[in-house]
Structure 1
């Protein structure tokens, strides 16, 4: 999944405009919550077939960290 598609996915989960999401954004600052975690796990599995570890997901701080969980470099 390329960066543009990934940011579009994050924006969709957060229900915000993609222009409002950047890899450097801190998750706490953009409204990421436990519901977003659940959606992210499901969407990434569906989109690219990668199973996200919930314990690892709980440790991430930025959008780039999220992307790293998908196996792609940020």
Structure 2
């Protein structure tokens, strides 16, 4: 998965317009909530076969923080 596909996944979870998210987008400002947490955890498990620590996810404040959680699974 590349970065654009990752952003598209987040936009789908958040039901936002394509291209509306940037690395420094504050998650709370775009409606990130516990349902988004669950959806993101499921999507990461489905796409990458990795289990995220909910405690680490809850500390995420920006899209870049989410990118950091999945690490090298998302290419440029």
Q: Same fold (TM over 0.5)?
A: yes
Q: CA RMSD in A?
A: 1.5
Q: TM-score, normalised by structure 2?
A: 0.89
Q: Structure 1: any 5+ residue segments left out of the alignment? A: none
The count of corresponding residues between Structure 1 and Structure 2 is 74
- 2:22 corresponds to: 22
Q: Is residue 48 from structure 1 mapped to residue 54 from structure 2 by the alignment?
A: no
Q: Structure 2: any 5+ residue segments left out of the alignment? A: none
Bigger relative contact order (CA 8 A; separation at least 6): 2
Q: TM-score, normalised by structure 1?
A: 0.91
**Structure 1 consecutive aligned stretches of length 4 or more whose deviation exceeds 6 Å:** none
